[in-house]
Amino acid sequence: MVTQMAGPDPMALAVEAAWAFQGCTFPNPAVGAAVTDASGGILAVAAHEKAGGPHAEVLALQHAFALLTSDTAILALVDSGAIHDYLLAHHNGCFASCAIHVSLEPCSHHGKTPSCARLLAGVRMGRVVYAAADPNAEAAGGASILSEAGIRVEHQPSKAADDLIFPFVQWQTKPFVTFKWAQRLDGTIDGGIISGSESRCFVHAMRDAADLLVIGGNTVRTDRPTLDARMVEGKAPDILILSKRDDFDRTIPLFNVPGRKVMIASDLTAMDRYRNILVEGGPGMFESLQSRCDMYLCFVAPSSGGTIRFLQKRKQFEIRHLSRSGKDVKQWMVNG
Amino acid sequence: MVTQMAGPDPMALAVEAAWAFQGCTFPNPAVGAAVTDASGGILAVAAHEKAGGPHAEVLALQHAFALLTSDTAILALVDSGAIHDYLLAHHNGCFASCAIHVSLEPCSHHGKTPSCARLLAGVRMGRVVYAAADPNAEAAGGASILSEAGIRVEHQPSKAADDLIFPFVQWQTKPFVTFKWAQRLDGTIDGGIISGSESRCFVHAMRDAADLLVIGGNTVRTDRPTLDARMVEGKAPDILILSKRDDFDRTIPLFNVPGRKVMIASDLTAMDRYRNILVEGGPGMFESLQSRCDMYLCFVAPSSGGTIRFLQKRKQFEIRHLSRSGKDVKQWMVNG
């Protein structure tokens, strides 16, 4: 029989929240945070959405503060620095018997946003529990800052938290390659639009965060796609068109996005100059890029009716995260 | 861009918890409950697992009580009546500033377990929020009991809560039919075992709760299955074998489970005498039973490599719930 948890696990909720933005946070990691009160009740769960935006800890503190103090003015703030300042000025010890559970060690450095470790020390958080240690030399050291400030810190490593930052750990030293496809429940990909608008919007958010998008020559010739991030008003990534021939119509929008570099090559060497690479390809690309793929993102529409299957050979995956994406299923997978 | 909730929604967590036991609670509905503390922090989330076992409210109160009072002795109790008695004797007003969020109106009657409405009144719950009104005449009236006892009650109907009890509402008056199948991500079903042990175990829990299992004649001839609920030590449902011919080997275990009725028929009229019907069939059964199916349960293994697809025609589903089931995906769907 299925068994259920005794109560909601704040760290599990934090990791779950973070996965919603996996692929969208580059060069930052996907991070989630949950704040619990004196009884262990969960006050807030939040995730880092995008580099430059507030870190997970800041968003979780923002919502927990509003619940604890009934001062909802803080909810109108969107700038990370402004939320930091408000919390430091008004916390009045409200977090003294609270704990924050973060999937990754709170950052030590003042980058695009102020340091989370200093914020947590400043608001006198009762207890800080973090799962993964920060593998980034510049951002690491948050736990030490907290300990030195007299905050109770607990390191509770977990596979779930390590899986969450697998892309982040890899792009510290080498390219991370995500292969994305959309199919129906019957495995087919032909016969019109497959995935819904939420799924396509998410792919645009991933393109916005990717530094390189790899695509097949036939897709460019046939679909004449723009491959930008207009649905999220984001930047268009550089493009590598995998093709033996250079016979492309240079007037299509793909070639005319300002600031974008478009490369045409019959091999993947250009990938080595990038860190967060998204591949959008068909069954042929899938077979030929297998050895270079680190993670797979598959959207599955709850429908059937095509004739060409995306997966055409024997293959075993392991699901790393599963969620709904509008009417579709969204599943992150690795080789099984 | 993807957006995130301000904080965890207790009713959403309650509904989510309940879906884990959808199909396993007959003749009871699937129900979830979450208890929040004075700050709105979530103390406990629980679901009703099986008829005869504690209701969702009882399990949620059990865990919340342990957190609020640090009296963990209550966690050792498994009998619903024993948990009721312990809570009534020891609550000491600990729930006065708490709220319970229940996907369905707390039951009014003392059936296999004592009344949840009377328990919530007895422990002086600060506030009771329920989503769906109870459609069962015998169990309804819980909200009135609570109001009359001076408990603050709020009715907050939602589509999510109505979707959750769709089977329960239907089997009040007519049979509810669930079609279950397992396939790979590429849509195929041939070439050996597909789903993992968690998924197969869940199907046994569903068989235990079903009063009738419908199966095709060819499956019985070829696979010689037992079709019982041994993985959960449950009861074996009655069987309807859809077949024009009666040429079955009566020595196979299927025909020799004590207390089970096995029918062989070329039509579905026998279904009208049952309420919670599970169909386990192949593509042919799927096509011929379409007009009688109310919900679909599809397990998708993250693999590929077969040749025969389960879905062979154009079809549109709507996903009602999605979760992981061990290594597999488990999705509840209705006609889209």
Q: What is the pLDDT of residues A21-80, one digit of tens each?
A: 999 999 999 999 999 999 888 999 999 999 999 999 999 999 999 999 999 999 999 999
For B159, the token pair is: 């589509």
Average pLDDT over residues A133-147: 89
Residue A183 has pLDDT above 80, yes or no: yes
Burial of B52 (0-12, 13-18, 19+ CB in 10 A): exposed
Average pLDDT over residues B206-218: 96
pLDDT at B61: 97
Task: Show which of residues 110-149 on chain B sit within 8 Å of chain A, judged by CB atoms.
Answer: none
Distance CA B72, CA B75 (A): 5
Q: Where in chain A are the domains?
A: 10-170, 174-335
Distance CA A142, CA A133 (A): 9
Distance CA B315, CA B61 (A): 43
What's the distance, CA B292 to chain centroid?
20
Preferred mutation among B24, B37, B39, B334 to probe A, highest tally of A CBs within 10 A: B39
Lowest-pLDDT choice from A253-262, B131-140, B210-219, B325-334: B131-140
Peptide bond into B54 cis (omega under 30): no
Percent of chain B with pLDDT over 90: 89
Give the angle B57-B319-A18 at the CA atoms, nearest 5°.
75
Residue B3 has pLDDT above 60, yes or no: no
For the stretch B87-97, pLDDT in tens is 999 999 999 99
Give the angle B11-B41-B48 at the CA atoms, nearest 5°.
40
Average pLDDT over residues B326-334: 98
Band of residue A213 on the pLDDT scale cut at 50, 70, 90: very high
Distance CA A168, CA A175 (A): 10
Distance CA B94, CA B7 (A): 24
Average pLDDT over residues B70-99: 96
Average pLDDT over residues B239-247: 95
What's the distance, CA B117 to chain centroid?
21
For A76, the token pair is: 């109108």
Question: What's the mean per-residue pLDDT of chain A?
Answer: 94
Task: For strands B262-265 and B238-242, give the pairing.
Answer: parallel
Burial of A318 (0-12, 13-18, 19+ CB in 10 A): middle
Residue B206 has pLDDT above 50, yes or no: yes
Question: What's the mean per-residue pLDDT of chain B?
Answer: 94
Task: Show which of residues 151-170 on chain A sit within 8 Å of chain B, judged by CB atoms.
Answer: none
**CATH code 3.40.140.10 for B10-170:** yes
Distance CA A165, CA A265 (A): 31
Residue B312 has pLDDT above 80, yes or no: yes
ipTM score for this prediction: 0.93
- Nearest partner of A80 among A106, A122, A123, A114, judged by Cα: A114
Place of tokens 């950052």: A107
Distance CA A184, CA A201 (A): 18
Distance CA B336, CA B239 (A): 29
pLDDT at A7: 65
Asked whether the CA dihedral B144, B149, B150, B154 is positive or negative, the reply is negative
Percent of chain A with pLDDT over 90: 89
Contacts of B329 in chain A (CB under 8 A): 319, 322, 329, 331
pLDDT at B328: 98
For the stretch A283-316, pLDDT in tens is 999 999 989 999 999 999 999 999 999 999 999 9
Q: Any chain B CB within 8 A of the CB of A39?
A: yes
Q: What is the CATH number of domain B174-335?
A: 3.40.430.10
How many pairs of residues across A and B have Cβ atoms under 8 Å apart? 190
Average pLDDT over residues B194-220: 96
Contacts of B303 in chain A (CB under 8 A): 314-317, 336
Check CB contact under 8 Å for A45 and B8: yes
Per-state percent for chain A, helix, strand, coil, to nearest 5:
30, 25, 45
Band of residue B170 on the pLDDT scale cut at 50, 70, 90: very high
* Closest A-chain CA to B233: A1
Distance CA B211, CA B237 (A): 5
Band of residue B39 on the pLDDT scale cut at 50, 70, 90: confident
Distance CA A43, CA A34 (A): 7
Residue B2 has pLDDT above 50, yes or no: no
* Closest A-chain CA to B62: A6
Residue B318 has pLDDT above 50, yes or no: yes
Lowest-pLDDT choice from A135-139, B218-222, B298-302: A135-139
Band of residue A1 on the pLDDT scale cut at 50, 70, 90: very low
pLDDT at A5: 45
Distance CA A64, CA B188 (A): 47
Rounded alpha-carbon distances, angstroms, from residue A209 to A26, A253, A282, B169: 6, 20, 22, 46
